[in-house]
Structure 1
């Protein structure tokens, strides 16, 4: 079966995947950003520009597997040597594309029995090869136009999934424009394609909010509710009879017993360690790429905010951070591992939620009344969700004979008609696959749907003023870019009035490099999140 090509804004060093293609040259030098993924014993020298590896090419080969058992597996790809010989020639891009083909073929020859964290297909991730030290930095638009078909060809031939990982907003906007012109980029049933088109349009218009459940973080190796209870039971030291009895208790009551056995201090230490910073899943990155301003989660982990920070979107994490006008936010409905005292886990804490944490529930009330909420990774069995949905339903006047307005869409993995009927007054439930489908296959199909939603909702103008994408523009867009270029050149070095600031913000959204240079780099958001999380780590 054919694999799928995802385009995602993320940091390759944090994305959960099986294989990563790393650009290098004939001297086996890589940029400093790859340092944390490479075995220390392979690094022979390093400076501010990069580091050299103690490996050897075999003749004219262009792909080299990094030895070791680390995950993800790294593959070095020469993207510089041929570009250096003729950096501006028409032969540069074909040379780079051939390197991508060779690398993906080499990856396919390595057998993988079980993809990472039980994913249905192996996931191979790569950056836009050749846009750093290679010869395609000034021709990024043309590269993306030609690279995406090469990736689709490899995914079709080898059967694995490919993630083209980009960090710049211009890169993402340009790549999504290329994909929107493809007829066969997504192999989805008609009803799922129509769903993605509807949700993509809602997101583009600012009408969509997102709810992230535990199923999303399970793809990053974090435990579901049942697995969490098993891990706590293992740590508690309960005898076999009591551990067997836990399975017969409601989940919140089992958690209460385990919390009492462990003690609150040990429980909080466990949550802080188990759900601390780590690599995020593809679905985290796709959700962070959505142009939504409001997100809600019952998860304790920081993976959504890390994924957002890696593309320059710093989320205010409520209720721990101050809400900043114009900045997107993420509400941690059941607490945050960085603040383990806030975690809602036991029956008593769930009961207290309705009283002491009513203001947090009110935020979700508001979203259900004013936005269309996309629920991902939740079974809709959480007591707080049920209570909130009932309160919203009670607040909306009965429409009489007309169908009640639904407040959101729940994306489930497999068909469950009874649960869909239970929630039909409040939300539309859409299953990815029939009930007999393997959960991993259904979860992968959910990723493909999210990928299409992101593509359709990405603003189509983020590269208009970036000269590296001039080849993507039609005549009308090229004339507009030239006119806006006059405005760009007239901008002062620093905005001193609100009007100038507004125009500068618009030019940045259209891909202006000049205005972007006046702002903090995208990595700054990641650094701030990293600093905050580092201060909160144990020890």
Structure 2
């Protein structure tokens, strides 16, 4: 199977990858935002806010492996074209870097992923060889990345942080119409879900399977870790497997004590690197998310692309802002975590308002379930209540309120849920779980491509070359409107227009920072420019 090229909005320093390409120049300076990827002892000093890396080029090569002991390896890539050699020179550098990465043997990809993942920014779009030519770069870089993924067999993540960059890259991919190794039924499903997302009809429910790709435990693994921490004698620990999960957790909570249990959850499920699937979910143009997970990884991924996701019930929802309901609590509020049988029972009583949110989504949206076994007692209860309400109102039988993306075929479980949701498997029952999880990532990547609004780069000058004649005329007219509106105007109408123009790539879009400072990380937010590459 060929490798796949993902396009994703994320922060490369926090996305779980096996290898990361870091832009630099001949003096081996990098923007300080890349320092988390480099061993501290290799930072020899700073010049003009850039970090100096204590390594040396051996000759005329453009790729330098950064020594390290961890699973993730960084590679410095010279992307500063002082001789004005153009995009071909940059693309040759990308090929050289990916070939060098392929020569490093990786026997076990991070967190059991089926294939090695190599992450890179849009090389050279800051002060490098593609400054001001980001549209042309994307059109030529994506085929180069696909060729490398095909030749070397690893997956590649092109990581972009600016909304203009992400929208433009997705437009290029839609125009090419290639790059997704999926059967026809999954392609058709991606088109349906992408359309629902564009129309604001899609909500997302995600479970522990999503965070397993970031190294966090599933429910069974969590119980095993708690048993280890509790110091239970072997006979009792062996008997835990015979108990229902909530009862196992109740026994462990009693042995550990609530204070130690909360401290364990807070530390185990705290902030950290997120997986590709977290970023793909956070990128979707969806406003409502629900999870039974305790960790903050989807929120982190959303924050890294400028999405202010409000976490319910701990924060107040804001008009126009996406929100995420933590149905079983949040690790940063460990007292809220639902683990034991008694706490599960409370969801139908004192926590009924939280369940009511999911009731509402199942009645008013199409809910996409990702990373869940659909065996959670709360999900079963909520689905039953929604089904009963619809039957009471005489709703036509056969109505399905969502889609479950299952890793492998399970006819019995699909039949159990068929009155409520459609279950779509990534592969047959005997497919390895890691391969099925990777196919799920590819499907999410296609949904993201098809659902990304096609206008986020319309007013970004760096992407003018992507526009057709009609779009150019529209961009010119909107540009005149932008000149007539003051961003600091107190008029409510003016502020509505300013917000629209920003969504179309004007001013606050990624182009805003492209020439003022390095932009390989492609972000427009002022406080994110530390990771935009001055030398790259």
Question: By the TM > 0.5 criterion, same fold?
Answer: yes
RMSD (CA atoms): 1.7
SS in 2 for 1:113: coil
**Structure 1 residues 113-262: aligned runs within 5 Å:** 113-262=107-256
SS in 1 for 2:349: helix
Preserved CA contact (<8 Å) 1:312 1:524: no
Q: CA deviation at 1:492?
A: 1.2
Preserved CA contact (<8 Å) 1:310 1:523: no
Q: CA deviation at 1:482?
A: 0.9
Looking at structure 1, the residues matched to 508 and 260 of structure 2 have their Cα atoms a distance apart, in angstroms, of 51
Preserved CA contact (<8 Å) 2:164 2:509: no
Q: Does residue 477 of the first structure (1) align with residue 477 of the second (2)?
A: no
**Aligned match of 2:460 in 425, 446, 466?**
466
Q: CA deviation at 1:137?
A: 1.9
TM-score by length of 2: 0.95
Q: CA deviation at 1:526?
A: 12
The residue number in structure 2 matching 1:530 is none
Q: CA deviation at 1:72?
A: 1.6
Preserved CA contact (<8 Å) 2:57 2:64: yes
TM-score by length of 1: 0.94
CA displacement 1:294-319 (0-9 Å, x = unmatched): 00000000001000000000111000
The verdict on how the C-alpha distance between 1:321 and 1:514 changes in structure 2, with shifts beyond 3 A counting, is closer
The residue number in structure 2 matching 1:522 is 525
The residue number in structure 2 matching 1:12 is 12
The verdict on how the C-alpha distance between 1:186 and 1:17 changes in structure 2, with shifts beyond 3 A counting, is same
Looking at structure 2, the residues matched to 463 and 61 of structure 1 have their Cα atoms a distance apart, in angstroms, of 35
The verdict on how the C-alpha distance between 1:140 and 1:521 changes in structure 2, with shifts beyond 3 A counting, is closer
Looking at structure 2, the residues matched to 477 and 268 of structure 1 have their Cα atoms a distance apart, in angstroms, of 55
CA displacement 1:16-36 (0-9 Å, x = unmatched): 110000000000110110112
Preserved CA contact (<8 Å) 1:314 1:525: no
The residue number in structure 1 matching 2:65 is 65
The verdict on how the C-alpha distance between 1:316 and 1:399 changes in structure 2, with shifts beyond 3 A counting, is closer
Q: CA deviation at 1:522?
A: 3.3
The residue number in structure 2 matching 1:535 is none
Looking at structure 2, the residues matched to 35 and 195 of structure 1 have their Cα atoms a distance apart, in angstroms, of 40
Looking at structure 1, the residues matched to 406 and 71 of structure 2 have their Cα atoms a distance apart, in angstroms, of 29
Preserved CA contact (<8 Å) 1:21 1:74: yes
Q: Does residue 46 of the first structure (1) align with residue 46 of the second (2)?
A: yes
Looking at structure 2, the residues matched to 503 and 84 of structure 1 have their Cα atoms a distance apart, in angstroms, of 40
Preserved CA contact (<8 Å) 2:23 2:76: yes
SS in 2 for 1:85: coil
Looking at structure 2, the residues matched to 285 and 129 of structure 1 have their Cα atoms a distance apart, in angstroms, of 20
Q: CA deviation at 1:466?
A: 0.6
The residue number in structure 1 matching 2:533 is none
The verdict on how the C-alpha distance between 1:266 and 1:20 changes in structure 2, with shifts beyond 3 A counting, is same
Looking at structure 2, the residues matched to 123 and 56 of structure 1 have their Cα atoms a distance apart, in angstroms, of 26
Relative contact order (C-alpha < 8 Å, sep 6+): which is higher?
2
Q: CA deviation at 1:469?
A: 0.4
Preserved CA contact (<8 Å) 1:214 1:298: yes
Q: CA deviation at 1:92?
A: 1.2
SS in 2 for 1:312: coil
Structure 1 runs not aligned, ≥5 long:
528-539
Looking at structure 2, the residues matched to 524 and 140 of structure 1 have their Cα atoms a distance apart, in angstroms, of 21
Count of aligned pairs: 520
Preserved CA contact (<8 Å) 2:87 2:130: yes
CA displacement 1:392-413 (0-9 Å, x = unmatched): 0000036989542100000000
Q: CA deviation at 1:488?
A: 1.1
Looking at structure 1, the residues matched to 255 and 338 of structure 2 have their Cα atoms a distance apart, in angstroms, of 17
Looking at structure 2, the residues matched to 178 and 289 of structure 1 have their Cα atoms a distance apart, in angstroms, of 17
CA displacement 1:235-260 (0-9 Å, x = unmatched): 00011111000011111000000000
Q: CA deviation at 1:514?
A: 6.0
SS in 2 for 1:137: coil
The residue number in structure 2 matching 1:84 is 82
Preserved CA contact (<8 Å) 2:487 2:498: no
